[in-house]
Structure 1
Amino acid sequence: MTTDSRGVAIRPALASDEEAIWAILQPVYRAGETYCIPQDITREEALADWFAAPFTAFVAEVDGQVLGISHVGRNRPGPAAHVANASFATAPAARGRGVARALVDHAKDWARQQGFRAMQFNFVVSTNQDAVHLWQKAGFEIVGRLPAAFDHPIHGYVDALVMFQDLTRGEQE
């Protein structure tokens, strides 16, 4: 377990965390505004996806309460296996408390420790401005734009962004 200066503790997720993880995922998935997941996905399907290989799931706790989740792992196999991918979600009570930033920092550190050389977010919905801003503050660059790739339930077809960070850069500077 790692704890940052804001008091956010991040540890590997356990089967006993499934209810807390679902409580965070369910409203995000039902809203259909940020993930390429069917809005009617079942609890069992969502948890199976969140814990599926090649990803490792984590929870972020503040004062023992799970307020955020992530899963981090290989983006693609074979010659691209050195590039990690990650997904994040936070509880509404976590907004503005540094939980999402702690999760992305942890994901990058964990990926480096596992030997990954870069991290890529394949499909960041452009209207998710809070996430785009946070990922940019964390060092990710927008390296691609997929026009009208996401059918947003409110805004219609919106762009998706590909965001990337070279995880070896900080080691060389």
Structure 2
Amino acid sequence: MTAITIRAAADADWPAILAIVKPVLAAGETYAIDRDLDDEGVRAYWLMPAHEVFVAELDGRVIGTYYLMPNQRGGGVHVANCGYMTAPEARGKGVARAMGLHSLQRARDRGFRAMQFNHVVSSNAGAVALWKKLGFEIVGTLPHAFNHPVHGYVDAYVMFREL
């Protein structure tokens, strides 16, 4: 298998990013955001000015995307936050892991001292397991904080690691 490459997103990547992000948001299983966003709403969310956006490629095809941003402003600006999505056909092939590792290094390079995920849906077992493997700890549980379209109200985790 060819190596996964990760690079800064370019304007020409938008159709591929949209094809990944829009169905994930519409499914409503992992992100606490409106499920009925149109293309412009998805663009405004994923490409907001605070987000530094990257794409993961395999054989020249975009198979994943993530953003990196400060988790808070002011006194919390030294903690990074990210969001990740992988194309359905690329799941289970190490794409999320590659993006996770890339994001940790990029956050270090930007001077962040830690990374925090504010709302990891507990039923997203693959993500929870991956973040634990990459050194994140569950530092808080938000009881029934996410209304999952299949499982109903499930917990969400706050996950954190120092860089």
What's the TM-score bracket when you normalise by the shorter of the two chains? over 0.9
Give the aligned partner of residue 15 of structure 2: 19
Residues in 2 aligned to 1:54 and 1:29: alpha-carbon distance in whole angstroms: 19
Contact 1:75 1:85 in 2 (8 A): yes
Q: Deviations over 1:37-94 (max 9, x none)?
A: 1110111111111111221000000010100000001000101110000000000111
Letter in 2 for 1:163: M
1:158 to 142, 147, 154: 154
Which SS does the other structure have where 1:149 is aligned?
Answer: strand
Instruction: Give the Cα separation in 1 of the matches to 2:93 and 2:115.
Output: 24
| Match of residue 135 from structure 1 | 131
CA distance in 1, matches of 2:30, 2:141: 15
Residue correspondence of structure 1 range 118-129 to structure 2 within 5 A: 118-129=114-125
Q: Does the CA-based 8 Å contact 2:2-2:59 persist in structure 1?
A: no
Q: Measure, in 1, the Cα distance between the counterparts of 2:51 and 2:26.
A: 22
Deviation of 1:97 (Å): 1.1
- TM-score in terms of structure 2 length: 0.97
How far apart are 1:27 and its partner, in Å? 1.4
Task: Give SS of 1:52's match.
Answer: coil
- Residue-by-residue CA offset, 1:92-131 (whole Å, 9 max, x unaligned): 1111211100000000000000000000000000000000
Q: Are residue 83 (structure 1) and residue 79 (structure 2) matched? A: yes
Structure 1 residue runs of 5 or longer lacking an equivalent are 168-173
TM-superposed CA distance for 1:19, in Å, is 0.5
Counterparts of 2:76 and 2:9, CA distance in 1: 26
Q: Which runs of 5+ in 2 are unaligned?
A: none
Distance (Å, rounded) in 2 between the aligned partners of 1:48 and 1:119:
23
- Counterpart of 2:25 (choices 20, 29, 39) is 29
Amino acid corresponding to residue 17 of structure 1 in structure 2? D
Which SS does the other structure have where 1:36 is aligned? Answer: coil
What is the DSSP-based 3-state SS (H/G/I as helix, E as strand, rest coil) of the residue aligned with 1:7? coil
Q: Which runs of 4+ in 1 moved over 4 A?
A: none
TM-score in terms of structure 1 length: 0.92
What is the total number of aligned residue pairs between the two structures?
163
Instruction: State whether residues 6 and 98 of structure 1, in contact with CA within 8 Å, keep that contact through their aligned partners in structure 2.
Output: no
3-state SS in 1 of match to 2:129: helix
Once residues 112 and 50 of structure 1 are traced to their aligned partners in structure 2, the CA distance between those partners, rounded to angstroms, is 22
- Residue pair 2:117, 2:158 contacting (<8 A) in 1 also: yes
